Structure 1
Amino acid sequence: IHLRLLLLAFFLPPKARTGEIIGGHESKPHSRPYMAYLEFVAQGVWKKCGGFLIREDFVLTALEKKAKLNAAVQPIKLPRGKDKVKPGKVCLVAGWGRVSPNGKCSNTLQEVKLKVQKHQVCEREEFLKEYYKSSIQICAGDPKENKASFKGDSGGPLVCNHVAQGIVSYGNKNGTPPRVYTKVSRFLQWIKETMKRHQLQETN
């Protein structure tokens, strides 16, 4: 299998815990054909995370591998450069992480709907305010609801209107919302240049 380091830009603060689905439900089979489940060894430790297919040969996350497209495996759209996700917008996160802060990882894809918050909501959270950057990050998850992404789903997409607008990044250690998602739109040029460069290397 051809593996290549693609994206580590999750902007994780030290000791941040990433990615499980809390307060969600099991996804309908094949309803999220862009989702990728990745397992790999890093510095001798077996790890796993989520990701999403943006082209048949690119999974946007920490790893990249060629995918065979079919009815159950399809890429998701990337945002346009000027796209903005406004507060109040309801988006979706999916993954195979834990379903409770101290629970086990799920063996089926889980998903949850999250409401995008104003930047100030993350900026005033004790654990988030030191690291949150509104220019490159999205704040999502209603603090009044027990719905969030957390441990095990880092790298998965925040999907708004069938477009991957964010990447699961980090949040409070106890798994409570709101949580932080990297803005895909801010890295579009880098993503496209990387894919183009890879394509040229493949044809040479």
Structure 2
Amino acid sequence: MLLWFLLPLILLSRHEAGKIIGGKEARPHSYPYMAYLLIQSPERLSSCGGFLVREDFVMTAAHCWGSSINVTLGAHNIQRRERTQQRITVLRAIRHPDYDPQNIVNDIMLLQLKRRIRQNHVVRPVALPQAGESLKPGTLCTVAGWGRVSLNRRTDVLQEVQLRVQRSQKCSNRFSFYTSQTQICVGNPRERKSAFRGDSGGPLVCNNVAQGIVSYGDTNGIPPAVFTRIESFLPWVKTILRRFKPQRSE
């Protein structure tokens, strides 16, 4: 099965972005932790989502790595220079040491920003889960992003969709390398609602806590999709955040 993880959102003459499948336009700045990542790699220019977890750190998927990454916070329309936007270069991209691009496991990365953001009502971090916190099937969560609505439709404004956590079996039946220990199965197969290409790295937020990271799914955008389970990586995340002291603000 071909996965949209393997089909990154490539940016051509303009910064292409699209929307989540089956979602709607988000109320501007209602997700103050959302980050838009513009990624330069030797082969292409592409984009991902991400989310602010500390005043100088953004969390995203490891497969969103590039030789240089620019982060935009406080954005609604990523094609405009909105007054609320804060654009910051990434100082250090730290992929999980056990990230495996072949089997798409441990798909988590922390981005240290060159400076601390100016925290305000449109730019602020999201909470991370507590150790041992379980996410039960049926939980209603929200995903936001600037990813595609289909292979040939896009928009520039932030989209949102509500998705339910599924039993792990629904993903293990479809994806040969799904593992419930470090991944979450999200999205009802009976509903045409899902994250899609370009949404990678964005957060799955349940009860105001970021529980997952958009990782991969079916190339046609048919749910469920697979999210990295943040709770499984808390020791690594805390180690990295302790190691690197907050950068100076402007």
The bucket for the TM-score relative to the shorter chain is: 0.7 to 0.9
Amino acid in the other structure paired with 1:139: C
Amino acid in the other structure paired with 2:245: Q
1:144-201 deviation digits (Å, cap 9, x = unpaired): 0000001001110000000000000001111110000000001111111101101189
User: Which position in structure 2 is the counterpart of 1:75?
Assistant: 125
Contact 2:55 2:246 in 1 (8 A): no
Gaps of 5+ in 2: 10-18, 61-108
Q: 2:160 aligns with which of 88, 100, 111?
A: 111
Contact 2:21 2:192 in 1 (8 A): yes
User: Which position in structure 1 is the counterpart of 2:26?
Assistant: 27
Describe the shift of the 1:18–1:119 C-alpha distance in structure 2 as closer, same or farther (beyond 3 A). farther
State the TM-score, normalizing by the size of structure 1: 0.85
Q: CA deviation at 1:137?
A: 0.4
Contact 2:4 2:218 in 1 (8 A): no
Describe the shift of the 1:113–1:17 C-alpha distance in structure 2 as closer, same or farther (beyond 3 A). farther
Q: CA deviation at 1:17?
A: 4.1
Whether 1:94 and 2:93 are equivalent positions in the alignment is no
Amino acid in the other structure paired with 1:183: R
Q: 2:112 aligns with which of 42, 50, 64?
A: 64
RMSD over aligned CA atoms reads 2.0
Contact 1:18 1:150 in 2 (8 A): no
Amino acid in the other structure paired with 2:240: T
Whether 1:178 and 2:224 are equivalent positions in the alignment is yes
Aligned pair count reads 186
Q: CA deviation at 1:134?
A: 0.7
Q: CA deviation at 1:18?
A: 6.4
Amino acid in the other structure paired with 1:16: L
Q: CA deviation at 1:71?
A: 1.1
CA distance in 2, matches of 1:183, 1:50: 16
User: Which position in structure 1 is the counterpart of 2:98?
Assistant: none
Describe the shift of the 1:201–1:22 C-alpha distance in structure 2 as closer, same or farther (beyond 3 A). closer
Identity %, equivalent residues: 51
Contact 2:5 2:215 in 1 (8 A): no
Whether 1:132 and 2:181 are equivalent positions in the alignment is no
1:105-136 deviation digits (Å, cap 9, x = unpaired): x21100000010000111112xx1x1100100
Q: CA deviation at 1:68?
A: 1.9
Q: CA deviation at 1:67?
A: 2.1
User: Which position in structure 1 is the counterpart of 2:135?
Assistant: 85
State the TM-score, normalizing by the size of structure 2: 0.70
Gaps of 5+ in 1: 1-12
